[in-house]
Structure 1
């Protein structure tokens, strides 16, 4: 057992070259984020077919397109913080399960009201997932590659939507709109055992715990990352104070926090408005 401290262990992760284990773990997060990209926009791909089958008004369609996004907002705020309480890995698995259930049930709904509920539930899982994946990738990366790794993670989101859109063309023509939700649900279902087997827990989360079980898991993780092991006594003495929402809204962060929130809100508002309605508008314009 080494006498290295928790802070020194964090410093090693930040300064040492990334191991194959870290790279593959980040790659798994990227694949999961690609699935999220498809799951978010699947309603946009299915919008014209759903609208034609159920004779939906623009207001009904707008509600269906918005339900998942509202769920994402709620999921990010509500589920995201549980990653600090129960662990990033457990939250990713829980969100994958929620997304899987929401997508599979969406493929069997009988009316627009049931689909709205299912899209909201799916959005809850996606919102919690997006918040957690960003944190996991940041904590798995070193200082030199962190920006690149987060950029790759974020690029996976639209890439998943692009690949999913291409697949949707075939599925819609051959099996109808319900097959899109079935495909997304089965893809998420297949990812659950893979994530359970290969996705590691966050080192920062384990360092924040300090109990014997967390130390054992931390030392197992350290071995995979070519890092020295750490003693429980040293670890438990170095817990850091929690940084929460109250911290972000207190001085000197108040103004910066509000500016960032507003900028990101308007950016996401414009982005999701365009990508949600574009497929339906193109079909209405005569394109197929």
Structure 2
């Protein structure tokens, strides 16, 4: 009897798009399962995707915009902070989901073969629903403050690609590490809270000293946040903040992909 043995690819190899395409149904199933699992037996359901960022924005507005009197570049602080929290919540949420995706699905990994990359990918896609729903609050704020986005909004997809590349790249690295080092799961909450203040979420980039601004712009989330603010507020796009982070985002994505593929052969052994 002929036997077919399926083995993971060896070495530092790139993504196999044909293989992912063959397993697109599994990717769809895991994405939907991730959405249902989050809101199952929840009274408010997807309403939490609106309540959570809204209350966070209100707290930031009271603490940083009111008590600390943080500069908001001449715009209402609640709008200033929400334009940053909108992409930031997606970024932080995908990190948490993708970092734990392999460990949470250890039973699947040890019993059947499928492209392991599907697990962090499903985490990235399942969070898109929250991202889209949170956009409703942004529209309400724009209407309330009578702010109209300019034509530069056509560049928004580029920033969203940068956001997803950054999220998936770091997510693949953390998920691969979490299989061998369970400390990643416990340290992730602290790390996400820490890096929140390394991005211009509660403060403006003008607060960063001039001699540190280029180094600061290497953080991909800096360009994403400042670019989104500029596009929705009809201001000049700060390309000087965007292009350094774009290069880093692509680099992180490529490294994360190669690192994930490299570690893929040991997932079933240590999961």
Q: TM-score range with shorter-chain normalisation?
A: 0.3 to 0.5
TM superposition score normalised by structure 1: 0.32
Structure that is richer in helix per residue:
1
- Whose Rg is larger? 1
TM score, norm. by length of structure 2 = 0.34
